[in-house]
Structure 1
Amino acid sequence: MSAFQDVLFSIENGHGRIVLNRPQALNALTLDMIDAIGAQLAAWEMRADIKAIVITGAGDKAFCAGGDVKAVREAKLRGDLGLLEDFYRREYALNHRLATYRKPIVAVMDGIVMGGGAGIAFNCSHPVVTHKSLFAMPECRIGLFPDVGAGHFLNRASPAVALALGLTGLTLRGPGIIRVGLARYFVGSGRVGEVAIDNLDALNLAVDSAGIDEMLPKIEPVFGLKTLDEIVTVLAARRDPWAVETLKAMRSFSPTSLRVTFAHITRARGQDLAEVLKTEFRLVQHFMTAPDFFEGVRAQLIDKDGAPKWQPAELGAVTPEMVERYFTPVPGLKDWAPPTR
């Protein structure tokens, strides 16, 4: 038996079952977990006795709270630039494998799902939410941008909602995820263990109301505007609590992250996942050489002083030319491309 226990694999009733098993870290993804999942999926793909895959998270709090960004920061501090490339190259390969897998994959988000966890769940053919699901893409808060295919899956929602999710870190619960179009299946949290590809329709619950319902009429006209500057201007002109809180949050985020995120989500509309991941690999590698991500992780996750010093510190100082550089190939690095099967 393998000593590696951060991901558990089993076969039950014709289903390959994958359990993300780091509950003490909210099942955050490490490179070893990414590699193990990719290898197991490859081994199961052509097996006739396995008709579908089911992915869940261990513990009662999270499906997966994201990638292990503390480990990425530590790699930067010790000068391990190879890991900064390998982590994202292999994580995006897993995202693409999940999306193009030859069998259905059910991902049950019974708890927190953010960042890299969303990259697993929403790239699967059958994302499932529960009453405990709590989804957000808060990368701008730590000086990064929503990646792992977010330019593709966030755009399943309306353009305004996709931008609101990417720019504000807006949190959605299970019914809200259904309401905005990011998932189709909603099951009771107590029935997660029963989920299989054959009974999803039987377990599926109706969504009568969602917390996002009263917010959508505010989101659509504001985040549907053509530029980030217009969005910020309109939010600043309004006096209602939603606008005040939304703008306050955005003003605490990395200005560079906000500009790049707006550009990426807008440009990614209509692109396939491989195109989006190629762009996101360029973006993330540029972020690995810039200061904001490492400062954001320090301020929010290491020292927890909540006072990152962004460079530049103001949205107006992030020029179109600076944003455009993030979309260019990274000198000395091969572009990301889907791995051959």
Structure 2
Amino acid sequence: MHKITLKRTAICSALLSAVFMVAGCNDDDNSSNKNSGQQQAATETLSGTAATGAPFKDADITVTNKNGQSKTTKTDVNGKFEISIDAGAPYIVKATKGDVSLYSYAAGKGTVNVTQLTTQALLAASQEAIYGDSKTLAEIYSNWANIVSKTSADKISSAINASAKEVVANLKTVFETNGFTATTGYPDIFKTAFEANSTGLDKVLDNVQITGLNGNTACSGTGSVFSCNFQYKVNGQPYEWKYTIDTTGIVIDLKDGNGNSGIPTGNYNLNMTVAIAGATVPVATIKNIPKPENKDQFCASEDVQKALKEQGQFTINSCSFNGTVGNINATIASPVGGFSYTAKYEYSPA
């Protein structure tokens, strides 16, 4: 059975704002005084998949923020990981297992992939104006705080995004063979969520082999003679990477701050409200989206749970869907204490 993934991260943010607003209005002075002066360091959560086609399982994932602070976790058997770190974008990410190291970049919280393609894009953006004297991947990683302090985050992002387009342009035939076109939008190799199951973006990874994935890899030269000391095979054949390839017409499927695509198109409008402490608060109305076919599709969506987990301890108590109306009753921990609420999703023909 086809599973619909409801892209509702932006809605969840609005939902949380409504929940906390109502909860705050019903909080007493004692609670306010109790929390007065208690301030925790803000954190951001990054999660994604590390893979080279096959999942990069049981690898060490280390995320470093712009201040040089790092956190480490491990990938699971599917190459998945999730890690929270003191807020400080942009972040650089490294996945290491044995003598192979993959690298990636995140402009903020949300989805971040770590693959041979993100490694290529991060390194190929190593113009002297961006990374300074840092030439190898290991140097870029270890000097990240210094690099960010001397170069604006926008300039770094712009260079890396341009390099990501070069990746897509070099592999355009492979992407199009696997369903990504100029019409549908090419994936953001850094933020397009995927499963390491040989479909979609992962199938592209299956068909691209890059050797030399370690911290000693470097780039040199400028313009038409710019190159990195990787070796490439595409569809099993040696490939000469083009570092000055034309990227005209390469439009990346843009994502939000959590790495999710825009709301998918469909024939229904969604009206969402939240009920808490006897009050009903409107949250959002989204037009022209698909409607879940049944309770399993509605309740199985991971987007709501993932988005809310980033905000605090979140538990779904019950979930129902009658074909047009879905209700999620949940408990969430907030700065003013734990409480329950119900989010209501009403679908109507567009």
- TM-score bracket for this pair, using the shorter chain length: under 0.3
User: Which has the larger helix fraction?
Assistant: 1
Q: Which has the larger radius of gyration?
A: 2
Larger relative contact order, structure 1 or 2 (CA cutoff 8 Å, min sep 6): 2
Q: Structure 1 length as normaliser, TM-score? A: 0.27
User: Which has the larger strand fraction?
Assistant: 2
